[in-house]
Structure formats: C-alpha cells, structure tokens
Structure 1
Amino acid sequence: MLPEERRQEIVRKVNSSDRVTVEELTEAFGVSGATIRRDLASLAEDGLIERFHGGALPASNGRTDDTGTRVERSVENPNGKRAIAERAVEELGDGDAVFFDTGQTTMEVARELPESVSLLVATNSPENAFELRKACGEVKVVGDSLRRTSDALVGPSGESYLRKTNFDVVFLETDAIQQDGSLSVSNEDEARIKSLLVDGGHRVVLVADGSKLDQQSFREFATVDDIDVFITDVALDEDMRAVFDRAGVEVVDNLLVVS
C-alpha cells in the first residue's frame, strides 16, 4: 500500500471509530509506530484528524468524508452548552475587557451576551468575532494563521499581543480535564495561546461540558490551579470535585436539569 493510500485509510478508520491508537494502526497496516506517527502528524497538519498522545481523533470542528473533504459538524450537546453560557454571562460587568477563546461553548456565551452590558471584546475565533459584533460592535481579532480543524487563529503576533494585554474576564475552553487537574488540547499552537490567556486573565472562567471531564489530550497548557471559575452542565463526581476544591476553584455544575 502506498503512503497516500494508507493515510486515506487512517482517516476513514478515525472517523468511523471516533478514536484509534498508534498500536491499533501499526497492527492494521503492518508498519512501524514511527511510520504511523509521521502519518498522523501529516494528517493533523492537513486538518484531517486531531492527534492525542498515542493516537488520533476526528477533526474537532468537522469530519472528513472518504475523499478527505471536510464535512461540517453540528454543535455537540447544544442544551448543555447553552446552559453553561446562560450562567457564564453572569460573570461579566459593565466595561469589562473580555477574551473569548475559540470553541462551541464560548460561541454560545457570545450569543447570550446581554444588550445592557458594554464590553471591550477580543477573540482568536473568526466565528466568535462575527457573533460578538452583533452585541458589541467592534471586536479585536487576535492571531496570524487559521487552523483548519478548530478554526482558531494562532501564531506569533497573536502570542505577542496576549503577552502585553490583560483582560478582566477570559472565557476559556479545553479539550480535556484530567483527574490530576491538568488541562490539555490537541495542538501545540493553540496550547500556547491558551497558556497566555490564563496568564493575562484577572478572572479565568473555564467553560466546558461533561464530555471534557476525565479526558487527556496531546498538550497541557494549564492546570485547575490557574482557573478561578469552572462552569459545566453536569454534576461532578466526588473525585473530580475534590480536584477543583483543592485548587480553590469556584465550581458551578449540574446546570442541565432534565425534567
């Protein structure tokens, strides 16, 4: 099998099973782990998959079909994300400088902004920028290049801007929250942006639904010790609640009440 054919098959396997490991792929294709890791790096760079430590996931904001064409994916867990957003806007005060991280949950927060609050807003997400413009008018867009898989703007000029800028509130997303309290994402460029957001936020509000709990992704960018508030739709179990309690984080959970 030619390398290009193998990579197309890898994309199909990732999208059909939602998660594959390097070990599974080496067994399936009869090649070395180093070869598979190079394949995954190439596919991730092309935006066809997302890597995690030891394997791959479907592209975060869209799947690819059998020809490698990107297919948009609808918002996952819209009710949970909306419940998080409705609570998150309570963290805002008139005149606040606010940064909206890239992601579906921060997009919902942008949609919930009250008209009565005047804000100075910035984001590294073009999608969020268009949504924020409806409520806030002028929006500062931060970053150099647009990642295909997450639609996040990343790069050195964005990093330089964030090193010199402070925000009253940062709405932060993550791909994974581990049991040891670390927060991680699948891409190093995005991890650097998120780490700078944590450093520059006076009040860092982590907005993440239950699917991110007890998960691990490729690159750690912060820990729960760097967070001030965690807002989620599900009820935390005792072990996960203890992680946030030890860090002194204000937890708002169990927001999605099913009648």
Structure 2
Amino acid sequence: MRASKEKRLGRILEILEREEKMRVRELADELEITPETLRSDLGDLVRMSVVEREHGYVRLVQAPQETPMAIRSGHHVQEKIAVAYAALSTVKDGQVIYVDAGSTVLLGLQALARRRDLLVATNSLPGALKLAQMNIRTLVVGGMAYNPGERTYGNFATSVVDHIQFDVVFLGTDGFQDARGFTTVHDNELGLKRHLIAQTEKVVVVCDRSKFHDKAPFMFCTFAEADLLVTNRLTEQERNEVDGVREILEV
C-alpha cells in the first residue's frame, strides 16, 4: 500500500472519530478526493473490519479491535514521528533494547542508525525487517503471528523474553482515558508486555497525544511502573491524568 494511501486512510479514521457517522459524499469533499478514490479507500477499510457503510453513510466499527498496521502507521503520523524519534534518540551505544509492535515506536527506528553495538529485540515483523536492513543486530521474538498487528505473541514470545535482561523497553499503548495505567485492546498482548516490564531496567511508554482520549480494557503497566512517557505537548490537565509517571518528555 503506498504511503499516500496510508495517510489518506489514517485521515479518514481521524474524521470519523470526530464525526462518528458521516455522509460518503461529504467525506469525499472534506478529503478533497474523488468519489471513486473514496469508494476504493472505504472498500479497503471495510475489508479490514475498521468501518462499515450504510445507506450513503460511513461509520467506525464499534467493537474494540486492533486497527491494521497499515492504517495505524498513517494515523496522526506527524505527531507519532516526533515522539518516536525523541524516544529512540535516548538509546545509547551498546544497549540491549526491546521495541514493541506499536505503530508509533516503529516510525522512529531510523533514529537507531547512529548507534553502535546495539541488540534490538522485537515482536514486530515489519520492524524486524527494517532493523535488519539497517544492519542492526536484531532478535525476532517468536510465537504465533497475528495479522492485523503484524506481530508475534504467545508463550514462545514470553519464554524468549524471560531469558534476556534489557536496558530499555519501548512500549506503545492503545489508550488510558480514565485508567490507572497504560492499556491495550488485546489480552494476547498483555502477558508479553508484563514479562518485558519484569526483565528491564527502564520502561519507556511512547504515544501520541490522542491516546489520552482513547480507552482499552487491559492494563499492562501502571503509571508508577513507567520510568518515562514520551508524548506530544500536553495541557496541565493531561499531565495530571498521568500523575505517577516518573518523567514525561513532551515534543
């Protein structure tokens, strides 16, 4: 899928999050694209079970689920790039780190190109490929492959993690509105993240500001367990919502 289309699909989701339900014709006008192009884009989103169409309208599917990686990577892309680069720029030469399959973290992998003697573990399939192409020593955490998130999970993944002592783990989150910590929409991600937190010296949570207004059912990390939160510029109220995090880096 071309980058321009990914960004367009991400923009469609942003609009539907705001409007909840919208006429297809009005959506095409706002995006400044032809109805034919929008029909093609909506067809992709329907096949991914992200949106649904009804009588000239389109709306988000309401059931909690993981948005496919191709869409997440184009969602709030500028904000994600900024926080991802800031987070991964804190890595030092010679460290052993873990980068999870969150779309935000993966956008900053290029920041690791300047570092030497790294070992990077990940459960992200596209992330592992990119790291290998950058000639960085890369350990792919095995397990069951999960298609929408393009990642691995399960007992095999956690057993590998349990044999590694990490300097830093970088974790994404699906949201934490009205929560006591950082959450994910999938229980099959919960165990792996908990094992990572137990095996590291430092926990870094990376997310764009939109996650302050999203909810997910499974908490993998309390605010107190996070050593650093890297996110966009916050309001005072938003800072108070994550009270307990030891340090916040705003970019």
When normalised by structure 2's length, the TM-score is: 0.71
Tell me the alpha carbon deviations over residues 49-74 of structure 1, each in whole angstroms, 9 at most, x when there is no partner. Answer: 69xxxx51464126xxxxxxxxx435
Q: Equivalent residue for 1:249?
A: 246
C-alpha distance in 2 between matches for 1:161 and 1:205: 20
Check conservation: 2:172, 2:205, Cα contact below 8 A.
yes
Please state how far the C-alpha of 1:86 moved relative to its aligned partner.
Answer: 2.3
Q: Secondary structure at the match of 1:132?
A: helix
Alpha-carbon distance in 2 for matches of 1:116, 1:137: 9
Can you give the 5+ residue segments of structure 1 that lack an aligned partner in the other structure?
Answer: 1-13, 20-45, 63-71
Q: 1:174 to 1:237 in 2, by over 3 A?
A: same
Q: CA deviation at 1:177?
A: 1.8
CA deviation string 1:214-259 (max 9, x = no partner): 32112221211111111112x2222331243x42421011x2xxxx
- What amino acid does structure 1 have at the position aligned with 2:246? V
1:240 aligns to what?
238
> Structure 2: which amino acid aligns with 1:61?
P
Amino acid at match of 1:250: E
TM superposition shift of 1:98: 0.5
Residue range with higher mean Cα deviation, 85-94 or 224-233: 85-94
Aligned to 1:60: 67
Residue correspondence of structure 1 range 87-166 to structure 2 within 5 A: 87-166=86-165
Task: Quote the offset at 1:123 in angstroms.
Answer: 0.1
Instruction: Check the 8 A contact 2:64/2:185 in 1, yes or no.
Output: no
Cα gap change, 1:58 to 1:137, in 2 (>3 Å): same
CA distance in 1, matches of 2:181, 2:245: 15
Q: Provide the C-alpha distance between the structure 2 equivalents of 1:56 and 1:221, rounded to a whole number of angstroms.
A: 20
8 Å CA contact 1:159–1:192 kept in 2: the answer is: yes
Does structure 1 retain, via aligned residues, the 8 Å contact 2:167–2:200?
A: yes
Give how far 1:135 is off: 2.8
Per the alignment, do residues 18 and 78 of structure 1 end up closer, same or farther by CA in structure 2, a change over 3 Å counting?
Answer: closer
User: Residue 176 of structure 1: SS of its match in structure 2?
Assistant: coil
| C-alpha separation in 2, matches of 1:160 and 1:232 | 30
Once the two structures are TM-superposed, the CA of residue 187 in structure 1 deviates from its matched residue by: 0.9
Distance 1:188 1:140 in 2: 23
**C-alpha contact (below 8 Å) 2:120/2:136 kept by paired residues:** no
